[in-house]
Chain A
Amino acid sequence: MSDDDPKSRPPSPTRRKFLLTSGSGVAASLVAVYVPALAERAAEESHTDLTSAGPNIEGAVPITLRINGKDHKLNVEPRTTLLDCIRETVVLTGTKKGCDHGQCGACTVHVNGRRVLSCLNLALMHDGEEITTVEGLGTPEAMHPMQASFLACDAYQCGYCTSGQIMSAVALLKEPCGPDDASVKELMSGNICRCGAYANIVEAIQQVRKNA
């Protein structure tokens, strides 16, 4: 293994792990339900062959979601949105919760290859279906061309909407879309960027389309 191989690097704490461990006392008092579950999952992050997860609570239904090419056998309470299932149960936190009402696009994922809003979907509706999240597109070492293009074009500021923007942008490549910027803007209108990085987002997408 070379030094560049991520597997050979010493584990460095992520921001999420750091916050979960150092601030767990404070955080737990604020979000008592979710944080312990998250901390537990985060601790298990090293072995990612997750085969069974989810609270064993009344009314939970067993389902299988194929997320980023891997089957996850999950126990899901019917009210669980696909978004909360991905973030809280499977602990893939690249998908973001913005408005939670279908108005911002931060939670965009692909279901069976099509972009949808995971906040307006129940996890149970997708038993047996193929889900792709931003974690399934690429890695920091081997980015999807769209991820690389967002980086090269500085297509974000705070980054919160970025995974949703990228999931939308990747789906757009396979959709009917005119060549001009106006067509891209129209098809990206479901992804709001509060920082206003729109010009660079359009540029990043057009770069990928030109090089395709």
Chain B
Amino acid sequence: MHIFKFIRPTDAAAAIAAAAQSKTAQQGADVRFMGGGTTLIDLMKLNVETPDRVLDINRLPLDKIEATPDGGVKIGATVRNSDLAHHPKVQKDYLVLSQAILNGASAQIRNMATVGGNLLQRTRCVYFRDTAMSCNKREPGSGCPAIIGHNRTLAILGTSEHCIATNPSDMSVAMAALEATIYVQGPKGSRAIPFADFHLLPGNTPHRETVLDPGDLITHVTLPPPVVGSKQLYLKLRDRASYEFALVSAAVVLTIASGRITRARIALGGVGTKPWRSPEAEGVLTGKTANEATFRQAAEAALHGAKPQSENGFKIELAKRCLTYALRTAAAS
């Protein structure tokens, strides 16, 4: 592990000022915020991340879950995954989020991992994690061995010729479907980022994963007021029953009145280079009768344009079946 200086900023302003000195907030940042450490320490041990300074933000007052005046919820950046998943309001109004978190990692990791860190979770692509290999995300311009190599678990949506790495987060998939807003405080002030705009597609800059700049500190996330009567489900399919990343997953939030779908929010995990919201599936579902034909049609729309690699073509049909099953199960709930 690269030698670093450990700093515990006394407040958010000090944390932001220290982080603003970093050359980048993206891959290879020389200053890093430390939340739970479950991604960052792992990557530091692999020398994938080599910060000179680590800013421990765990004692900043960013650990509250509060109701917002409009009936939504405000979730602090250092709220632990387990606390969020078990919070009564989340279980009552945002079940898909609770389910997604509890389907991720293990009980120990959920006790450590923060909301802010989970938004910034890094890909599990084996080439990214191995500094002996080329990787455009880790070393821009070095090439992508995954495209001709081991890519069974990698992405089929949002890929480019430079990167096919999957975003591994479960929590983010649910937050995409719930249309969360991410609040960031930076050297130039505060801003609110709609969830769909937060993560970037790899394009020809796969080392840029989010819109964050040096000094940008995620302070909290808000969820809009719950949709009364909505049916929610997170379904995750993986190689083993627990403690495994998704091959494919689906977050669905449906409102059905008299057998007709009046509102649909759909996001997929395990298949995209970012948490994959599907306006195409939502468009198919909205206004239609909630039946098997509609669900399958939505799944076809969600995977339209998916690009298989040499080992992960199975994900296209698996994702379609996953979404169809999730829609059917949610509609019947």
Q: Top 3 closest A-B pairs, CB basis?
A: A190-B106, A189-B242, A78-B6
Interchain residue pairs with CB less than 8 A apart (16): A61-B6, A78-B3, A79-B3, A81-B41, A102-B38, A108-B108, A114-B82, A114-B111, A122-B37, A125-B56, A125-B58, A175-B107, A186-B242, A189-B243, A190-B106, A191-B106
In the bound complex, CA of A171 to CA of B106 (Å): 13
Interface residues of B in 1-33 (CB under 8 A from A): 1, 3-6
Q: Mark B31-60, 1 if CB is under 8 A from A, else 0.
A: 000101110011001000000001010100
Task: Assess whether B37 is in contact with A121, with CB atoms less than 8 Å apart.
Answer: yes
The residue on B at minimum CB distance from A128 is: B59
Q: Mark B229-257, 1 if CB is under 8 A from A, else 0.
A: 00000000000011100000000000000
Q: Mark B91-128, 1 if CB is under 8 A from A, else 0.
A: 00000000000000111110110000000000000000
Could you count the A-B residue pairs with CB atoms below 8 Å apart for me: how many are there? Answer: 77
B4 interface neighbour in A79, A102, A108, Cβ under 8 Å: A79
Least CB distance from B236 to A in Å reads: 12
What residues of chain A have their CB less than 8 Å away from a CB belonging to chain B? 59, 61, 78-79, 81, 100-102, 105, 108, 114-117, 119-122, 124-125, 168, 171-172, 175-176, 185-191
Contacts A59-B3, A124-B6 given; does A102 touch B42 at CB 8 Å: yes
Chain B: number of interface residues, binned into ranges:
20 to 34
Give the residues in chain B near A114, CB-CB below 8 Å. Answer: 82, 111
Contacts A79-B1, A185-B242 given; does A172 touch B37 at CB 8 Å: no
Contacts A101-B42, A120-B41 given; does A115 touch B5 at CB 8 Å: no
Q: Does any Cβ of A come within 8 Å of B64's Cβ?
A: no
Task: Assess whether A115 is in contact with B242, with CB atoms less than 8 Å apart.
Answer: no
